[in-house]
Chain A
Amino acid sequence: MTPPISEIWVYLSASPLLGLTLTLLAYQGAFWFYKRSGMNPLANPVLIAVAILVLLLTLTATSYETYFAGAQFVHFLLGPATVALAVPLYTQFRRVRSLLLPVLVGLVAGSLTAALSAIAVARLFGASLATQLSLAPKSVTTPIAMGIAERIGGIPSLTAVLVIITGILGAVGARYIFDAMRIRDPAIRGFAIGVASHGIGTARAFQVGEQAGAFAALAMGLNGALTALLLPLVLGWVR
């Protein structure tokens, strides 16, 4: 006895296939547009793909859980991709080693600026304390940022949203800031974007070039570790 086709379809479309396929289609559409724009940062593919999918899910009243059941297979690849960052880092290591001082001082300065300026501006405009603390780790890659938020008294799920918005802001805006500052060295551009906007910034840096990508990856890893260690201490002094 073979089941009717409709039953097979219900089984298949129940979740994984649809979410996964839609993610790939939306991203490829967004990437096509990004390439056609000459990789203009304003046409950031993450931003466009997310907008398409949110619109689609809202219009069809599909829950995020249903979508994620399929999209999780893409999400999972973040782990091995993070590990793979070691390869460009190795390839570019001679330059990294020659720039140890600017890298380390830039890291500390950038890391503190990211957390303290976020708190200061939010406080200035009257955000609640929990919101200020949720903002503090916004430049750090999501899993570390959520852990930090929890430890210092922020709201981890709010932090997760802020981290992603920060990533997109950095990926979209960095080029204009660096150009205005007349900074052309891909090592500096990559490293600064990695400190300010973690993986989404790093993804943008890799699209520009391997050296910028390697420095962004380095910055993302170092800033995650440093912020996790430093931020709870610094907040203790500031309070």
Chain B
Amino acid sequence: MLSALTQLLVFQLAGEIVARWLALPVPGPVLGMLFLFVALALRGGPGDELQSTSQNLLQHLSLLFVPAGVGIMVHLHRVADEWLPLLLSLVISTAATLVVTALVMKLLMPARTMPGETP
């Protein structure tokens, strides 16, 4: 657990440093994810420890969004003036994005892949 958590932090730190150094538009942790992915490919997979730690962390990924979500209360007044166009835009656009992405992927799906098949 401790060594896995340390690994994750080291990759995040590497991501932060590179993102800032090269002034990339991608946040450090996302770059860290890319670095860890490359490391896993080179290493031939995560060890048991990293596997179980990341599984634990991701199982409760929703929890990690709660503090930022509560932040809505501070900025809610910004939404108040134009709440109707904002609400319509968010609902319609989110639905449209789900439909378009899923439809395009479905049309381009290779014929032989069975839905739900695990590689």
Please, how many angstroms separate the alpha-carbon atoms of A219 and B74 in the complex?
Answer: 29
Which residues does chain A contribute within 8 Å of B69, judged by CB atoms?
Answer: 46, 49-50, 164, 168
Please, how many angstroms separate the alpha-carbon atoms of A164 and B60 in the complex?
Answer: 17
Please, how many angstroms separate the alpha-carbon atoms of A78 and B62 in the complex?
Answer: 10
**Residues 1-57 (chain B) with a chain A CB within 8 angstroms:** 5, 8-9, 11-12, 15, 25-30, 32-37, 40-41, 45-46, 50-51, 53-55, 57
Question: What does the 1/0 interface line of A127-147 toward B look like (CB < 8 Å)?
Answer: 110010001001101111001
Question: What does the 1/0 interface line of A13-55 toward B look like (CB < 8 Å)?
Answer: 0000000000110110001000000000000111001100110
For B51, B54, B57, B90, the residue with the greatest tally of chain A CB atoms inside 10 Å of its CB is B90
Is there a chain B Cβ closer than 8 Å to A195's Cβ?
Answer: yes
Given contacts A109-B100, A229-B25, contact A83 B70 (CB under 8 A): no
Mostly, the B contact residues are helix
Please, how many angstroms separate the alpha-carbon atoms of A92 and B94 in the complex?
Answer: 26
Given contacts A95-B118, A143-B27, A181-B102, contact A102 B109 (CB under 8 A): yes
Complex contact B57–A84 (CB within 8 A): yes
Which residues does chain A contribute within 8 Å of B100, judged by CB atoms?
Answer: 109-110, 113
Point out the residue from A124, A128, A135 that lies within 8 Å of B90, measured CB to CB. A135
By beta carbon, the residue of chain A nearest B76 is: A161
Is there a chain B Cβ closer than 8 Å to A169's Cβ?
Answer: yes
Given contacts A83-B8, A161-B79, contact A138 B90 (CB under 8 A): yes
Mostly, the A contact residues are helix
Complex contact A170–B70 (CB within 8 A): no
By beta carbon, the residue of chain B nearest A168 is: B69
Complex contact B25–A82 (CB within 8 A): no
Complex contact A117–B28 (CB within 8 A): no
Complex contact A102–B63 (CB within 8 A): no
Which residues does chain B contribute within 8 Å of A142, judged by CB atoms?
Answer: 68
Given contacts A109-B104, A121-B89, contact A99 B68 (CB under 8 A): no
Which residues does chain B contribute within 8 Å of A88, judged by CB atoms?
Answer: 54, 58
Which residues does chain B contribute within 8 Å of A102, judged by CB atoms?
Answer: 104-110
Complex contact A82–B29 (CB within 8 A): yes
Complex contact B45–A83 (CB within 8 A): no
Is there a chain B Cβ closer than 8 Å to A149's Cβ?
Answer: no
Complex contact A224–B8 (CB within 8 A): no
Which residues does chain B contribute within 8 Å of A85, judged by CB atoms?
Answer: 33, 54, 58
Which residues does chain A contribute within 8 Å of B90, judged by CB atoms?
Answer: 118, 135, 138, 162, 165-166, 169
A-B CB proximity, top 5 nearest: A110-B101, A84-B54, A71-B67, A125-B85, A228-B25
Ordered by A's residue number, 24 sampled pairs between the chains whose C-beta atoms are within 8 Å are A23-B66, A31-B62, A46-B62, A67-B67, A79-B12, A82-B33, A85-B33, A87-B51, A90-B45, A90-B46, A106-B101, A113-B93, A113-B101, A114-B97, A119-B89, A121-B85, A121-B92, A135-B90, A139-B97, A144-B27, A157-B78, A183-B106, A187-B105, A191-B101
| Given A84-B8, A141-B27, 4 new contacts (CB under 8 A) | A46-B69, A77-B57, A105-B108, A160-B68
